[in-house]
Amino acid sequence: MTGRCPTIFVRPVLAVVAACLALLAAGPLMAAGDGRAPKSPGFSFQGPFGTYDRAELQRGFQVYQEVCATCHALKYFAFRNLRSIGFDEMQAKAIAAQYEVTDGPDEEGEMFERPAVLADYMPAPFANDNAARAANNGSLPPDLSLIVKARAGGEDYVFSLLTGYEDPPADVELGEGMSYNPYYDGSQIAMPPPLVEDGVEYADGTKASVERMARDVTTFLTWAAEPEMEARKRMGIKVMTFLVLLTVLLYMVKRKVWRDVH
């Protein structure tokens, strides 16, 4: 390697890096819609060592069950997944049994209803999209299984949306049945404010403030979108440690091999 290499590269590379940083600072790479920039309340699962708080997950599941599930499906969520958010098998079976699912055909060729078991998926609130629109003033409530990954801003956006309802400014005329939420693209959202103070009675006795419920259900929905996240970060630490050690060793081998060339 030439000794000149650093002086050739350092300055232009720094210039390019500086240009990139300036571009990044000037705004996110992808335009994130026209809504207000989301709040960052801070969640336990953020950061390289972050994990889901099991109590938050279970409370969040309760909020989903009692509030969101009225309109929103969660199609990739199976009752067996309840084991991963800290319920034991008996509790998970009891929760599943609260739901009726369609099975069949039986020996007479008829479809029949039965209580859900762990292998079943969460039933949707509406039979199809048209039924969902008909019940919701023409708007389609999206499935929530991937909502945190499917929105710019992720968990911060979902939390901000749930807690961000406001009275509309004087110059804004809301459409029929619409609510004002500056975090939503266009600020007019068909979902009425879903969370009200003490809207659910938490099984663990926690006071159900709007902020508490929003935080809990956001945590639950993040888990629903990324159930692998804890395993991923745990594996990441091992892989990174291994790779860094390997690379240090390779660096030392390279120095030794090249000693006679320099």
Partner 1 sequence: MSSPGSGNRIVQWIEYRLPIFSWLDHSVGSGYPAPKNLNYLWNMGSLAGAALVIQIVTGIVLAMHYVPHGDMAFDSVEHIMRDVNYGWLIRYIHANGASMFFLVVYIHVFRGLYYGSYKYPRELLWWIGLAIMLLMMATAFMGYVLPWGQMSFWAATVITNLFSAIPLIGDPIVTWLWGGFAVDSPTLQRFFSLHYLLPFVIAGVVIVHIWALHTHGSNNPAGIDVKGPQDTIPFNPYYTVKDLLGLGVFLIVFAYWVFYNPNYLGHPDNYIPANPLQTPPHIVPEWYLLPYYAILRAIPDKLGGVVAMGAAIGVLFLIPWLDTSRVRSATFRPIYRQFYWILIADILVLGWVGANPPEGHFILIGQLATAYYFLHFIVIMPFVGWFETPRQLPDSIATSVLDKGGGVDSAKEGAQ
Binding interface with partner 1 (CB under 8 A): 1-5, 7-8, 12, 15-16, 19-20, 23, 29-31, 33, 48, 76, 142, 145-146, 149-152, 154, 185, 225, 227-228, 232-233, 235-236, 239-240, 243-244, 246-247, 250-251, 253-254, 257-258, 261
- By beta-carbon proximity to partner 1, the closer residue of 62 and 145 is 145
User: How many Å apart are CA 207 and CA 237, to the nearest integer?
Assistant: 36
CB of 177 to partner 1, least distance (A): 20
Structure tokens at 197: 């103070």
Q: At what angle do helices 54-66 and 210-225 cross, to 10 degrees?
A: 100
CB of 74 to partner 1, least distance (A): 12
CB of 149 to partner 1, least distance (A): 4
Q: Residues 49, 50, 53, 57: is their CA dihedral positive or negative?
A: negative
Q: Residue 23: CB partners within 8 Å, gap ≥ 6?
A: 29
User: How many Å apart are CA 181 and CA 163, to the nearest integer?
Assistant: 9
- By beta-carbon proximity to partner 1, the closer residue of 15 and 94 is 15
CB of 232 to partner 1, least distance (A): 6
- By beta-carbon proximity to partner 1, the closer residue of 3 and 175 is 3
- By beta-carbon proximity to partner 1, the closer residue of 55 and 190 is 190
- By beta-carbon proximity to partner 1, the closer residue of 94 and 235 is 235
H-helix or E-strand containing 15?
Answer: helix 5-26
CB of 18 to partner 1, least distance (A): 10
Q: Torsion over CA of 253, 256, 257 and 258, rounded to 10 degrees?
A: 120
- By beta-carbon proximity to partner 1, the closer residue of 47 and 192 is 47
Cβ–Cβ < 8 Å for 242, 65 = no
What Rg, from alpha-carbon coordinates, does the chain have?
25
Structure tokens at 27: 């705004």
CB of 220 to partner 1, least distance (A): 16
